[in-house]
Amino acid sequence: MADEVKLHGVTGSPYVCRAVIALNLKEIKYEFVAEDLSNKSADLLKYNPVYKKVPVLVHNGNPISESLVIVEYIDEVWKGVPILPQDAYEKAQARFWAKFMDDKCFPAVFKAVSSHGEEQAVGEAHEAFQFLENELKVKGSKYFGGDNINLVDISATFVAFWVGAAEEALGIELLPKDKFPKLTEWSDNYVNCQAVKDSLPPRENIVAFFKKRFGKA
């Protein structure tokens, strides 16, 4: 029996993008259900009554919400390219850094962007980036996942792509290359991975979004 896989989302969301990358990495055929967040579909509200947000993965009628939960689910159900390490300790480390992206990194970046690069906010974003920079330095590898991308890289998609778009849109500097050489190099490598390239929205759309949402009139 063929699997029915749907992903409810919006193309501009870095969280939705995580799910798209995971689906593409595993070469899963799915239907993208584009949502209008100002007018959410009855299905979305039915599938994610708790948060009413995207992304929501619907697999044979069963809904899964929260991007990192979705990515782990995809990894467990579909074999092929592994997204999480096998070893229990390495898995725990991967989950730790993925959670760090959401708990520390994303809020700091959001504050830095919405404040138009206010000094303290950028300082906090740099603190978060420094942990990632150190992690890459210690690992000494191309990606957080080693030679291949893993859960951590996928969770950091917004750093690799959305941060640059925000910088361009608002004329601010968030991720200076001289301060974060490893993270910058990682960003360049990451966005050029095939599965990631296939999943990212057009850059000009994200730049336009940032200009509209945060740009000075």
In the complex, the residues that contact another protein under the rule CB under 8 A are 50, 59, 62, 64-66, 69-70, 72-73, 76-77, 88-89, 91-93, 95-96, 99-100, 104, 131
Residue 116 backbone class (left: φ over 0; alpha: ψ -120 to 50; beta: rest): left
Inter-residue contact 138 to 152 (CB < 8 Å): no
What distance lies between CA 112 and its chain's CA centroid? 18
- Whole-number Å distance between alpha carbons of 160 and 108: 15
User: Residue 74 Cβ, how far from another protein at the closest point, in Å?
Assistant: 9
79 vs 216, beta carbon nearer another protein: 79
Q: Residue ranges of the alpha helices (H) in the chain?
A: 14-25, 42-47, 67-77, 88-100, 106-114, 119-139, 151-155, 157, 163-170, 181-191, 194-197, 203-214
Q: Do 54 and 11 form a contact (C-beta atoms < 8 A)?
A: no
Shortest distance (Å) from residue 127 CB to another protein:
10
Nearer to another protein, 89 or 212 (CB): 89
Cβ closer to another protein: 120 or 134?
134
Please state the closest distance from residue 111 (CB atom) to another protein, in A.
18
Q: Which is nearer to another protein, 94 or 170 (CB)?
A: 94
Least spacing, CB of residue 103 vs another protein, in Å = 9
Minimum CB distance to another protein smaller for 104 or for 203: 104
CB nearer another protein, residue 72 or residue 167: 72
Residue 99: CB minimum distance to another protein, A: 6
C-alpha separations of 157 from 17, 146, 201 in Å? 8, 16, 12
Sequence-distant (6+) residues with CB within 8 A of 44 are: 8, 35, 52, 54, 56
Q: Rounded to the nearest whole angstrom, what is the least distance from the CB of residue 66 to another protein in the complex? A: 6
